[in-house]
C-alpha cells in the first residue's frame, strides 16, 4: 500500500481501537535478554506498521498478531519484573525520592501477596478481583492507607497498559473510601504541653552536664558524656521540628555548613523535600539548643558531614527520633501520641494563629501548593474570632452594644 508523502506512519492499537502516531511515542522501559533497557514503544511491541486514516482499518491478521504479541509479553513478564519496570520509570522520569520508591515497593508487594493468595496473574485480574482487593484493604487499613495503595496499583496498571503488558486497567473508575484530609490536623501540642516538653528537655541537658562535671575519669565520665550527648541531640532535634518547622528527614540531613550567618541573625539553609533549597531563621528555643549540641558534637570524631550523629559517628535514623519523641510525649502526658510530624504541625499552627499569613507559613514549611498548607495547619475557632475582632474596623465602638435595640423598643 502506498502511503501519501509526508504522512507519518501509524500503528493500530487493538486495545483502544484507534491509531497511534509513532512520532508521538515516548521512550519507555522494556525487557531485554540482558536486563532492562529503554527503547521506543515500536521496538518494544514489534507490531506491524500500517498507514491508516480516519476510514482505514487494519486487516484482521494484524489485530490477531497484536493480541498474540501482547499475550506473549504478559506471560513472559513476571510480577517482580513488572514492578522493576514501574520503579525504573519513576526513577528516570520523575523527581521522586528514595522514600517514594520505597513506598511504591511496599504497596506493590502487598498487592503481589494478594495475587498469590487469589492465584491470579497481572493479565488475569478483572474488575471483580479489584473490588475484592479493595474490600480486603478496607478491613485491614485506614481509609487514607486504602486510597494510597489503590492509587499506587492503579498507576502501576496504567503504566503496564501503556507498554502493552496488560490489556486493561481493572482499577479504573473504582470507588475509593472517602476521608477527611484534615482529620489529623487537630493533633498538635498545646502551649502548656510544649512548654513542659522544652522544660523537660532542658532539665535533662542540665542534669547530664552536672553529672559530667562531677564525674571522675574512667567509665563513670564516659557514661556521663554519653548521657549529655544523647540529651543534647534530643533537645536539638525536638526544637528544630517544633520551632523551625523542619521535617524529620530534613533535620537528620542537615550538613555542617547548614548554619548561615546574616546581619539579623543565624539561619539554616538546606535542601529539603523535592530537592528544593530552603532557608529558615534559627530563633527561639532552637537557637541555644542547636549551639549547645554543636559544642558537644565536636568531641565525637566522625567522617559524616551530617550535624546529627550517634556516639559511634554514624548517621541517626528517623526511627530513633520517632522513639525519642514518643518517650517525651509519654513523660509530659500529652493528649496525643507525639511524633515528629505532630511537632511540625504544631509549629505551623502556632505560626498561622499568631500571624495569619498563610503564604509565609507555606514558605517556611516548604509546601509546593497553598492547599497542602491548609491541610497541615489547624486554627481553632477562638483564634479565628480574635483575629477578626482585632482587625475589624471600629470594633471598639461597636462592641459597646447594639444600636438598633433602643429605637425598636421606642417604636414598640
Residues with catalytic annotation?
Answer: 247, 273, 341, 344, 367, 376
Are 241 and 252 within 8 A, CB to CB?
Answer: no
Strand pairing class (259-262; 35-40): unpaired
Half-sphere exposure of 253 (CA within 13 A, CB side): 13
Query: To which residue does cell 527503547 refer?
Result: 39
Helix axes 340-355, 219-243, angle to 10 degrees: 40
CA–chain centroid gap for 70, Å, is: 35
Parallel, antiparallel, or unpaired for β 27-32 and 35-40? Answer: antiparallel
* Residue 192 CB partners (closer than 8 Å, separation 6+): none
Tell me the three cell numbers of residue 228: 549529655
CA distance 292 to 352: 29
Amino acid at each position: 500500500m502506498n502511503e501519501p508523502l509526508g504522512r507519518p506512519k501509524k500503528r493500530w492499537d487493538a486495545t483502544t481501537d484507534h491509531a497511534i502516531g509513532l512520532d508521538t511515542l515516548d521512550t519507555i522501559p522494556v525487557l531485554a535478554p540482558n536486563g532492562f533497557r529503554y527503547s521506543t514503544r515500536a521496538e518494544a511491541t514489534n507490531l506491524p506498521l500500517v498507514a491508516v486514516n480516519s476510514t482505514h482499518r487494519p486487516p484482521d491478521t494484524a489485530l490477531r498478531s497484536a493480541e498474540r504479541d501482547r499475550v506473549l509479553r504478559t506471560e513472559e513478564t513476571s510480577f517482580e519484573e513488572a514492578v522493576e519496570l514501574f520503579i525504573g520509570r519513576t526513577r528516570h522520569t520523575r523527581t521522586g525520592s528514595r522514600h517514594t520508591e520505597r513506598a511504591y515497593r511496599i504497596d506493590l508487594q502487598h498487592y503481589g501477596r494478594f495475587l498469590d493468595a487469589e492465584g491470579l496473574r497481572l493479565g488475569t485480574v478483572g474488575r471483580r478481583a479489584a473490588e475484592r482487593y479493595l474490600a480486603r484493604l478496607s478491613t485491614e487499613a485506614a481509609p487514607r492507607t486504602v486510597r494510597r495503595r489503590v492509587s499506587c496499583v492503579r498507576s502501576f496498571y496504567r503504566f503496564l497498559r501503556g507498554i502493552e503488558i496488560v490489556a486493561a486497567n481493572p482499577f479504573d473508575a473504582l470507588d475509593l473510601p472517602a476521608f477527611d484530609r484534615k482529620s489529623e490536623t487537630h493533633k498538635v501540642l498545646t502551649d502548656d504541653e510544649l512548654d513542659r516538653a522544652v522544660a523537660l528537655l532542658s532539665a535533662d541537658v542540665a542534669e547530664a552536664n552536672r553529672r559530667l562535671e562531677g564525674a571522675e575519669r574512667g567509665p563513670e565520665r564516659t557514661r556521663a558524656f554519653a548521657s549529655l550527648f544523647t540529651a543534647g541531640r534530643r533537645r536539638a532535634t525536638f526544637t528544630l521540628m517544633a520551632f523551625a518547622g523542619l521535617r524529620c528527614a530534613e533535620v537528620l540531613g542537615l550538613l555542617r555548613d547548614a548554619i548561615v550567618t546574616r546581619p539579623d541573625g543565624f539561619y539554616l539553609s538546606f535542601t529539603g523535600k523535592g530537592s528544593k533549597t530552603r532557608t529558615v531563621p534559627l530563633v527561639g528555643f532552637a537557637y541555644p539548643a542547636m549551639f549547645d549540641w554543636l559544642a558537644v558534637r565536636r568531641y565525637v570524631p566522625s567522617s559524616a558531614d551530617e550535624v546529627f550523629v550517634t556516639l559511634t559517628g554514624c548517621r541517626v535514623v528517623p526511627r530513633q527520633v520517632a522513639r525519642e519523641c514518643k518517650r517525651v510525649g509519654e513523660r509530659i502526658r500529652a493528649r496525643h501520641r507525639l511524633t515528629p510530624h505532630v511537632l511540625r504541625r504544631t509549629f505551623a499552627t502556632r505560626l498561622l494563629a499568631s500571624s495569619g499569613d498563610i503564604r509565609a507559613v507555606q514558605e517556611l514549611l516548604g509546601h509546593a501548593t497553598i492547599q497542602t498548607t491548609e491541610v497541615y495547619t489547624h486554627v481553632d475557632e477562638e483564634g479565628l474570632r480574635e483575629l477578626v475582632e482585632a482587625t475589624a474596623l471600629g470594633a471598639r465602638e461597636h462592641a459597646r452594644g447594639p444600636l438598633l435595640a433602643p429605637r425598636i423598643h421606642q417604636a414598640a
